[in-house]
Amino acid sequence: MILSFLGTWMIAEYFIQPLSPLIPTTDTIRTYTTILASAAWGLGIAVLTLSHIRNIYRQTQDPFWGYSAFYLVSFLAMTLAGLFYGANGNPFLWGYDNIYAPGNMTLYSTTAFFITTAAFRVFRFRNLDSTVLLVSGTLVLMSVLPIFTGTIPFLRPLGAWIMNVPGVAGYRAFTIGVALGIIGLGVRIFLHKHPEVIR
Protein backbone atom coordinates (compact mmCIF):
# COMPACT_ATOMS: atom_id res chain seq x y z
CA MET A 1 0.00 0.00 0.00
CA ILE A 2 2.85 2.40 0.82
CA LEU A 3 4.56 1.64 -2.50
CA SER A 4 1.32 2.08 -4.44
CA PHE A 5 0.55 5.38 -2.72
CA LEU A 6 4.02 6.87 -3.18
CA GLY A 7 4.29 5.67 -6.78
CA THR A 8 0.91 7.18 -7.65
CA TRP A 9 1.94 10.39 -5.86
CA MET A 10 5.13 10.69 -7.93
CA ILE A 11 3.34 10.03 -11.21
CA ALA A 12 0.52 12.46 -10.42
CA GLU A 13 2.92 15.22 -9.35
CA TYR A 14 4.83 14.86 -12.60
CA PHE A 15 1.92 14.74 -15.04
CA ILE A 16 -0.86 16.73 -13.37
CA GLN A 17 -0.14 20.46 -13.31
CA PRO A 18 -2.54 21.49 -10.46
CA LEU A 19 -0.53 19.26 -8.13
CA SER A 20 2.69 21.28 -8.67
CA PRO A 21 2.50 22.74 -5.10
CA LEU A 22 3.32 19.22 -3.93
CA ILE A 23 6.84 19.48 -5.42
CA PRO A 24 8.59 20.34 -2.10
CA THR A 25 6.98 17.32 -0.42
CA THR A 26 7.94 15.12 -3.34
CA ASP A 27 11.54 16.34 -3.14
CA THR A 28 11.58 15.41 0.54
CA ILE A 29 10.33 11.92 -0.32
CA ARG A 30 13.08 11.59 -2.94
CA THR A 31 15.65 12.62 -0.32
CA TYR A 32 14.43 9.91 2.05
CA THR A 33 14.53 7.47 -0.87
CA THR A 34 18.21 8.28 -1.41
CA ILE A 35 18.88 7.76 2.30
CA LEU A 36 17.10 4.39 2.26
CA ALA A 37 19.00 3.35 -0.86
CA SER A 38 22.31 4.16 0.86
CA ALA A 39 21.20 2.16 3.90
CA ALA A 40 20.34 -0.74 1.58
CA TRP A 41 23.87 -0.59 0.14
CA GLY A 42 25.30 -0.74 3.65
CA LEU A 43 23.06 -3.66 4.57
CA GLY A 44 24.04 -5.51 1.38
CA ILE A 45 27.74 -5.04 2.13
CA ALA A 46 27.23 -6.27 5.69
CA VAL A 47 25.35 -9.38 4.54
CA LEU A 48 27.99 -10.12 1.86
CA THR A 49 30.81 -9.74 4.37
CA LEU A 50 29.10 -12.00 6.91
CA SER A 51 28.56 -14.60 4.19
CA HIS A 52 32.28 -14.61 3.34
CA ILE A 53 33.21 -14.79 7.03
CA ARG A 54 30.97 -17.86 7.30
CA ASN A 55 32.75 -19.41 4.30
CA ILE A 56 36.11 -18.85 5.96
CA TYR A 57 34.85 -20.34 9.22
CA ARG A 58 33.57 -23.46 7.41
CA GLN A 59 36.77 -24.22 5.50
CA THR A 60 36.12 -27.93 5.25
CA GLN A 61 32.66 -27.49 3.70
CA ASP A 62 33.56 -24.86 1.09
CA PRO A 63 36.56 -25.59 -1.16
CA PHE A 64 36.61 -21.98 -2.40
CA TRP A 65 37.00 -20.33 0.98
CA GLY A 66 40.29 -18.78 -0.16
CA TYR A 67 38.33 -16.39 -2.39
CA SER A 68 36.32 -15.33 0.62
CA ALA A 69 39.53 -14.63 2.52
CA PHE A 70 40.84 -12.59 -0.41
CA TYR A 71 37.59 -10.59 -0.48
CA LEU A 72 37.73 -9.94 3.26
CA VAL A 73 41.36 -8.78 3.19
CA SER A 74 40.72 -6.55 0.15
CA PHE A 75 37.55 -5.11 1.67
CA LEU A 76 39.23 -4.28 4.96
CA ALA A 77 42.30 -2.81 3.26
CA MET A 78 40.29 -0.53 0.96
CA THR A 79 37.93 0.47 3.78
CA LEU A 80 40.77 1.41 6.11
CA ALA A 81 42.61 3.23 3.31
CA GLY A 82 39.48 5.22 2.53
CA LEU A 83 38.78 6.04 6.19
CA PHE A 84 42.30 7.13 7.14
CA TYR A 85 43.55 8.65 3.87
CA GLY A 86 40.32 9.61 2.09
CA ALA A 87 39.05 8.66 -1.33
CA ASN A 88 41.76 10.81 -2.95
CA GLY A 89 44.60 9.51 -0.81
CA ASN A 90 47.53 7.65 -2.30
CA PRO A 91 46.84 4.23 -0.69
CA PHE A 92 43.20 4.21 -1.80
CA LEU A 93 44.02 5.40 -5.32
CA TRP A 94 46.86 2.87 -5.58
CA GLY A 95 44.52 0.01 -4.68
CA TYR A 96 41.91 1.26 -7.12
CA ASP A 97 44.30 1.89 -10.03
CA ASN A 98 46.50 -1.19 -9.60
CA ILE A 99 44.10 -3.86 -8.30
CA TYR A 100 40.45 -2.99 -8.85
CA ALA A 101 40.65 -1.35 -12.29
CA PRO A 102 42.84 -4.08 -13.91
CA GLY A 103 40.67 -6.81 -12.37
CA ASN A 104 37.53 -5.10 -13.64
CA MET A 105 38.98 -4.80 -17.14
CA THR A 106 40.04 -8.45 -17.06
CA LEU A 107 36.55 -9.61 -16.13
CA TYR A 108 35.04 -7.34 -18.78
CA SER A 109 37.40 -8.70 -21.44
CA THR A 110 36.19 -12.25 -20.75
CA THR A 111 32.79 -11.24 -22.15
CA ALA A 112 34.42 -11.38 -25.59
CA PHE A 113 34.55 -15.18 -25.28
CA PHE A 114 30.90 -15.35 -24.23
CA ILE A 115 29.95 -13.10 -27.14
CA THR A 116 31.91 -15.33 -29.53
CA THR A 117 30.26 -18.52 -28.34
CA ALA A 118 26.83 -16.86 -28.39
CA ALA A 119 27.45 -15.66 -31.96
CA PHE A 120 28.48 -19.18 -32.96
CA ARG A 121 25.19 -20.53 -31.61
CA VAL A 122 23.08 -17.77 -33.17
CA PHE A 123 24.68 -17.46 -36.61
CA ARG A 124 23.63 -20.83 -37.99
CA PHE A 125 21.23 -21.88 -40.74
CA ARG A 126 18.45 -23.29 -38.59
CA ASN A 127 15.40 -21.39 -39.78
CA LEU A 128 14.45 -18.26 -41.71
CA ASP A 129 15.08 -15.91 -38.77
CA SER A 130 18.58 -17.18 -38.11
CA THR A 131 19.35 -17.09 -41.84
CA VAL A 132 18.32 -13.43 -42.10
CA LEU A 133 20.42 -12.64 -39.02
CA LEU A 134 23.42 -14.51 -40.46
CA VAL A 135 23.23 -12.80 -43.86
CA SER A 136 22.70 -9.30 -42.45
CA GLY A 137 25.44 -9.75 -39.84
CA THR A 138 27.87 -10.99 -42.49
CA LEU A 139 27.07 -8.04 -44.76
CA VAL A 140 27.53 -5.52 -41.94
CA LEU A 141 30.82 -7.14 -40.97
CA MET A 142 32.04 -7.09 -44.57
CA SER A 143 30.98 -3.43 -44.96
CA VAL A 144 33.50 -2.28 -42.34
CA LEU A 145 36.45 -4.35 -43.56
CA PRO A 146 38.62 -2.63 -46.19
CA ILE A 147 39.48 -5.93 -47.84
CA PHE A 148 35.83 -6.27 -48.92
CA THR A 149 34.85 -2.63 -49.43
CA GLY A 150 37.84 -2.07 -51.73
CA THR A 151 36.77 -4.84 -54.10
CA ILE A 152 32.97 -4.54 -53.66
CA PRO A 153 32.13 -0.80 -53.43
CA PHE A 154 28.39 -1.16 -52.74
CA LEU A 155 29.03 -3.06 -49.47
CA ARG A 156 29.65 0.14 -47.47
CA PRO A 157 26.31 1.85 -48.27
CA LEU A 158 24.51 -1.50 -47.94
CA GLY A 159 25.95 -2.05 -44.47
CA ALA A 160 25.08 1.52 -43.48
CA TRP A 161 21.49 0.97 -44.69
CA ILE A 162 21.18 -2.25 -42.69
CA MET A 163 22.44 -0.50 -39.57
CA ASN A 164 20.36 2.67 -39.98
CA VAL A 165 17.02 1.27 -41.20
CA PRO A 166 16.28 -2.32 -40.07
CA GLY A 167 18.78 -2.12 -37.19
CA VAL A 168 17.41 1.12 -35.76
CA ALA A 169 13.82 -0.11 -36.26
CA GLY A 170 14.55 -3.32 -34.37
CA TYR A 171 16.31 -1.43 -31.59
CA ARG A 172 13.36 0.94 -31.23
CA ALA A 173 10.93 -1.97 -31.14
CA PHE A 174 13.07 -3.62 -28.46
CA THR A 175 13.16 -0.38 -26.43
CA ILE A 176 9.40 0.07 -26.69
CA GLY A 177 8.85 -3.55 -25.62
CA VAL A 178 11.12 -3.11 -22.59
CA ALA A 179 9.34 0.14 -21.68
CA LEU A 180 5.93 -1.54 -21.91
CA GLY A 181 7.18 -4.42 -19.80
CA ILE A 182 8.46 -2.03 -17.13
CA ILE A 183 5.15 -0.16 -17.14
CA GLY A 184 3.22 -3.42 -16.84
CA LEU A 185 5.43 -4.61 -13.99
CA GLY A 186 4.98 -1.26 -12.25
CA VAL A 187 1.21 -1.47 -12.57
CA ARG A 188 1.23 -5.03 -11.20
CA ILE A 189 3.35 -3.91 -8.23
CA PHE A 190 1.05 -0.92 -7.61
CA LEU A 191 -1.93 -3.28 -7.61
CA HIS A 192 -0.08 -5.80 -5.41
CA LYS A 193 -0.13 -8.36 -8.22
CA HIS A 194 3.56 -9.11 -8.51
CA PRO A 195 4.62 -12.73 -9.21
CA GLU A 196 5.47 -13.57 -5.59
CA VAL A 197 1.92 -12.75 -4.52
CA ILE A 198 0.41 -14.67 -7.46
CA ARG A 199 2.40 -17.79 -6.62
Q: What is the 3 state secondary structure string of 61-127? A: CCCCHHHHHHHHHHHHHHHHHHHHHCCCCHHHHHHHHHHHHHHHHHHHHCHHHHHHHHHHHHCCCCC
Predicted TM-score (pTM) of the model is 0.53
Q: What's the pLDDT tens digit per position in 24-52?
A: 777 888 888 889 989 999 899 999 999 88
pLDDT score, position 145: 86
Residue range 85-142, pLDDT digits in tens: 888 888 889 988 998 899 888 888 888 888 878 777 777 777 887 788 888 888 888 8
Tell me the mean pLDDT in the region 144-155: 85
